[in-house]
């Protein structure tokens, strides 16, 4: 039986951000950001599967500028990232990336939903 380590949602950055500007400094590139490097190194060192949540930076062609909220007094929504999780295998190789498809209210001001399949 193989060992599996899992870290909490957005374990390296914290979780509640009021707007896109607040989370910008914590957004990471998939597969090359600090959470990905940490997971890959740990998986290889311990010979186990490692997954962790992280705030993924969207590619420029995915980002949407500010969107007016549905409610007049609601927050401005700007999709700059995704609430994602990354998975690495026992030899430290990338297995997959997942974007949350049903974001919590705290994600809605900055996170793009993933696609459900």
The domain of 86 spans: 6-107
Span 101-116, mean pLDDT? 84
| Structural domain contains residue 66 | yes
The CATH number linked to 98 is: 3.60.110.10
What does the pLDDT look like over 79-93, one tens digit per residue? 889 999 999 999 999
In this structure, are residues 42 and 100 in contact, taking their beta carbons and an 8 Å threshold? Answer: no
| Structural domain contains residue 21 | yes
| Structural domain contains residue 78 | yes
Span 58-69, mean pLDDT? 72
CB neighbour list of residue 75: distance below 8 Å, 6 or more residues apart: 18, 19, 69, 109
* Number of independent structural domains in the chain: 1
| Structural domain contains residue 45 | yes
What tokens does 57 get? 């930076």
Percent of the chain with pLDDT over 70: 74
Q: With a cut of 90, say whether residue 37 has pLDDT above it.
A: yes
Closest by alpha carbon to 14, among 23, 5, 4, 6? 23
| Structural domain contains residue 83 | yes
| Structural domain contains residue 117 | no
């Amino acid at each position: 039986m193989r060992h599996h380590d899992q870290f909490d949602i957005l374990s390296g950055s914290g979780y509640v951000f009021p707007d896109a500007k607040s989370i910008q400094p914590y957004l990471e590139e998939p597969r090359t950001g600090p959470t990905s490097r940490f997971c890959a190194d740990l998986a290889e060192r311990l010979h186990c599967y490692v997954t962790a949540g992280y705030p993924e930076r969207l590619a420029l062609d995915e980002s949407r500028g500010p969107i007016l909220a549905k409610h007049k007094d609601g927050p401005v929504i700007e999709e700059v990232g995704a609430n994602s999780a990354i998975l690495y295998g026992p030899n430290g190789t990338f297995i997959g990336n997942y974007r949350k498809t049903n974001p919590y209210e705290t994600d809605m001001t900055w996170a793009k939903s993933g696609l459900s399949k």
